[in-house]
Amino acid sequence: MRVVTYKRTSTNHQEVENQTSSLNNQIEVFGWTLLGEYSEVQSGIKSRDTRPQLRQLMEDARRRKFDRVMVYSLDRLGRSVVDVINTINELEEVGVHIFVVKNAIDTSTQHGKLFTYFCSIFGEMERDMLLSRQKESIKRLRAKGAKWGRGTLLTEDKKNQIIILREKGQSLRKIAETLSVSKGSVQHVLKVANG
């Protein structure tokens, strides 16, 4: 069995040693061959895409340089259920399994596959809750005419005014000036209104 380890740690040296010791002991117990280590020191919340060692691991997995990735605990793979599941699924798609030492999860077994399935369900729930909260926040901000991202959210009243002014024959530029909105916002409202 060709194995690599992945460690994500804070700047705490003891944490690195604990993970390394646990991973090495498990590899020795199973008699697997350690081909390499991917290790990154991170502080704060970082997404999957901002971790160069994880990106390299995923690239090497696609090249089938190893059969299994060992991690100390699931939270080493990501900061959210969605991150963890996406990583596991991407690895499984190329035939690479995960072994989690702390929880004795092995995605090559039926129990491991079942665990991954349940995690996928929770990941979907987490995504739905985030989207729902985001939609509610946008709705609340829109009602106040507040900013969202780089622009200002248009209230329903302002959207209706854009449509009315356009029906009266005003140009896009004139509507934008009259209502103090961008020309792009005017175009977007009219495009949505016209289906």
Amino acid at 137: S
pTM of the model: 0.59
* Residue where one domain finishes, among candidates 75, 93, 124: 124
Q: Backbone phi, then psi, for 96, in 5-degree steps? A: -105, 130
Distance (Å, whole) CA 80 – CA 74: 10
Distance (Å, whole) CA 133 – CA 111: 33
Residue 130 located in a structural domain: no
Instruction: Please count the structural domains in the chain.
Output: 2
Distance (Å, whole) CA 150 – CA 54: 31
What is the reported pLDDT for 148?
Answer: 56
Percent of the chain with pLDDT over 70: 84
What is the reported pLDDT for 49?
Answer: 64
Residue 184, domain CATH: 1.10.10
What is the reported pLDDT for 103?
Answer: 82
In which order are the strands placed within the sheet that holds 105-106?
A: 33-41, 2-9, 68-71, 97-100, 105-106
What confidence tens digit (pLDDT) does each residue in 81-131 have?
Answer: 778 888 888 998 999 999 999 888 899 888 888 877 777 777 677 777 777
* Residue where one domain finishes, among candidates 124, 150, 174: 124
* Residue where one domain finishes, among candidates 97, 124, 151: 124
